[in-house]
């Protein structure tokens, strides 16, 4: 019987803007302003018109918002 000593690693999902706005409840324009000003996590440019964000970054951001930071 073998035991797996490696922790299970689930790859981080990439979220598109509509999914983020469901979690954060702000307008698109405010979200983009926060990204530009460095308040929100930096997105990953997938193509000229497609940006996505790591789910772990968004989860941490939502926790900071909830804590009032």
Domain ranges of the chain: 14-67
Q: Locate the DSSP E strands across the chain.
A: 14-15, 44-47, 50-54
What would the pLDDT profile of 9-52 be if each residue is shown by its tens digit? Answer: 677 999 999 999 999 999 999 999 999 999 999 999 999 999 99
Complete edge-to-edge strand list for the sheet that includes strand 50-54: 14-15, 50-54, 44-47
- Rounded Cα distance between 15 and 44, Å, is 10
Query: Does residue 3 carry a pLDDT above 70?
Result: no
pLDDT of residue 68: 87
Cα distance between residue 69 and residue 65, in whole Å: 6
Q: Indicate if the pLDDT at residue 6 is higher than 70.
A: no
The verdict on pTM exceeding 0.95 is no
Q: Which pLDDT value is given to residue 47?
A: 97
């Amino acid at each position: 019987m073998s035991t797996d000593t490696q922790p299970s690693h689930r790859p981080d999902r990439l979220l598109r803007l509509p999914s983020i706005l469901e979690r954060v409840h702000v307008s698109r324009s405010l979200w983009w302003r926060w990204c530009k000003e460095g308040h929100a996590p930096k997105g990953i440019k997938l193509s000229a018109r497609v940006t996505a964000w790591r789910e772990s970054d968004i989860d941490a951001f939502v926790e900071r918002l909830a804590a009032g930071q």
